[in-house]
């Protein structure tokens, strides 16, 4: 997304750190930081703004991003990410969890060291919301395992296990 907007590779990390503040600050304040403190052009910051303000139902927003003429389709990395998201969202749909998920393009935590799609799970209903950041490879492996089963009677248990089981060092490699 940042490449599509025209962010130079050397500014990727610093712009990610600005975007990561969107859950605490309005976009106009983030835009000011990106332009005045980090040297991004106003046009590039505005372009980022058109994307990071997007959030909604996963399949609906994915469909919008995959429409003909979308800047995402003309970019190899983005096209791959959209395909990864489609796999994840279809798994969530099959497991009847899709309506509990919001697709938010402002999620920027970990973009400088994760590859592929990242996700954040927010568990509601506790004294304080708990957050967990994940990479694509684990949901893809779980989805492939699930669809290989002859019958998956309770797919929500599969996702519960995914969301609650910590990764080991071996799994990360």
Interval 68-95: pLDDT, tens: 788 888 888 888 888 888 888 888 888 8
CB 18 within 8 A of CB 38: yes
The CB-based long-range contact list for 126-134 (8 Å cut-off, 24+ gap) reads 132/163, 133/109
pLDDT at 124 exceeding the cut of 90:
no
CB 81 within 8 A of CB 100: no
* Nearest CA among 160, 110, 168 for reference residue 134: 110
pTM above 0.75, yes or no: no
Among the ranges given (8-22, 79-93, 109-123), the one the predictor scored with the smallest mean pLDDT: 109-123
Q: Tell me the percentage of the chain whose pLDDT exceeds 70.
A: 62
Confidence label for 136 from pLDDT (cuts 50, 70 and 90) = low
Instruction: Give the C-alpha separation, 155 to 54, whole Å.
Output: 28
CB 78 within 8 A of CB 72: yes
Instruction: Give the C-alpha separation, 47 to 4, whole Å.
Output: 9
CB 45 within 8 A of CB 27: no
- For residue 163, how far is the Cα from the chain centroid? 15
Q: Which helix (H) or strand (E) holds 103?
A: strand 103-104
């Amino acid at each position: 997304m940042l490449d599509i907007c025209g962010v130079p590779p050397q500014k990727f990390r610093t712009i990610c750190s600005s975007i990561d503040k969107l859950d605490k600050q309005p976009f106009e304040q983030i835009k000011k930081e990106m332009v005045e403190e980090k040297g991004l052009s106003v046009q590039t910051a505005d372009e980022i703004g058109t994307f990071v303000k997007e959030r909604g139902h996963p399949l609906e927003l994915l469909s919008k991003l995959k429409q003909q003429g979308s800047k995402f389709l003309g970019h190899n990395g983005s096209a791959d990410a959209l395909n990864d998201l489609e796999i994840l969202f279809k798994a969530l749909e099959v497991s009847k969890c899709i309506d509990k998920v919001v697709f938010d393009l402002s999620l920027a935590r970990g973009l400088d060291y994760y590859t592929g799609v990242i996700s954040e799970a927010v568990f509601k209903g506790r004294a304080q919301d708990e957050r967990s950041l994940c990479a694509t490879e684990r949901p893809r492996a779980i989805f492939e395992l699930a669809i290989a089963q002859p019958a998956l009677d309770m797919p929500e248990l599969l996702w519960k296990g995914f969301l609650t089981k910590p990764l080991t060092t071996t799994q990360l490699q």
